[in-house]
């Protein structure tokens, strides 16, 4: 694809509801990242996949957060029993081995989650 | 704990002038430092990478310096244009790592 796409772009959830956020990385990109960005802050790392393997999930804030990438392409970030503090923009990024010289990550537009 | 600081106050600058942004870090030994641009409602866009053994890197009107002794990077936009108005984020990366650690970003507003 032309770039990283994410859906939905906006999600309003009632507290306690489960949500699923989808990321379509750039075709062929091996690495996929999820970040959380609070208003006025920089993105914070959540988790990292290399192909289908989740190699780092140290940034997931609680066991309510779960991410998967079963076939090594599309990824889903799931948040169970959402809380108001989960309100943020969730960014997905991908990178390839050929971007190794710059280590550039290519970001999607994000999903803005609002928990009421 | 690791800390990356960018000036949280917006930088207002006149068109044509040079904008200079700072990124300071503590308790971190990055192998790489990147700068990203972020526009409202969009994801960050990669601009430049500088390695720990490099002092300076240039790309068009952008210049980045990296001082591992001071634990600081400076990001310069020369001959600034209104289209340069955005938030600029610095991000640190370890040699064997993949995850980026971002600063809070500095908003730049270039006035015509």
Query: Is A42 in contact with B89 (Cβ distance < 8 A)?
Result: yes
- Give tens-digit pLDDT for B29-86: 888 999 999 999 999 999 999 999 999 999 999 999 999 999 999 999 999 999 999 9
How buried is A29 (Cβ within 10 angstroms: 0-12 exposed, 13-18 middle, 19+ buried)? buried
Note whether A93 contacts B: Cβ–Cβ < 8 A: yes
In 3D space, the residue among B29, B62, B28, B57 whose CA is nearest the CA of residue B45 turns out to be B62
Query: Is A43 in contact with B102 (Cβ distance < 8 A)?
Result: yes
Structure tokens at A52: 């289908």
DSSP H or E run through A91: strand A88-95
Predicted local confidence at residue B51, as pLDDT: 92
Average pLDDT over residues A27-38: 95
- Report the half-sphere exposure of B5 (CA within 13 A, side-chain side): 10
Query: Is A109 in contact with B98 (Cβ distance < 8 A)?
Result: no
**Considering only CB atoms, which chain A residues are within 8 Å of B91?**
42
**Considering only CB atoms, which chain A residues are within 8 Å of B6?**
42
- Give tens-digit pLDDT for A58-96: 999 999 999 999 999 999 999 999 999 999 999 999 998
Average pLDDT over residues A98-105: 70
């Amino acid at each position: 694809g032309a770039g990283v796409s994410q859906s939905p772009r906006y999600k309003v959830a009632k507290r306690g509801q489960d949500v699923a956020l989808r990321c379509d990385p750039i075709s062929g990109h091996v690495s996929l990242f999820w970040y959380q960005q609070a208003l006025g802050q920089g993105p914070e790392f959540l988790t990292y996949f290399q192909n289908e393997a989740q190699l780092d999930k140290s940034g997931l804030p609680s066991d309510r957060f779960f991410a998967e990438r079963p076939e090594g392409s599309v990824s889903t970030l799931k948040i169970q029993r959402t809380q108001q503090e989960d309100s943020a923009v969730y960014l997905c990024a991908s990178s390839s081995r050929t971007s190794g010289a710059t280590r550039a990550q290519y970001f999607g537009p994000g999903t803005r989650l609002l928990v009421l | 704990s690791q800390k990356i600081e960018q000036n949280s106050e917006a930088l207002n600058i006149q068109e044509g002038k040079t904008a200079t942004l700072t990124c300071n870090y503590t308790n971190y030994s990055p192998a790489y430092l990147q700068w990203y641009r972020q526009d409202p409602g969009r994801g960050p866009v990669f601009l430049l990478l500088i390695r720990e053994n490099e002092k300076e890197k240039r790309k068009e009107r952008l210049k980045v310096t990296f001082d591992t002794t001071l634990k600081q990077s400076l990001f310069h936009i020369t001959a600034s244009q209104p289209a340069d108005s955005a938030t600029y984020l610095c991000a640190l990366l370890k040699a064997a790592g993949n995850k980026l650690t971002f600063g809070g970003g500095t908003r730049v507003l270039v006035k015509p």
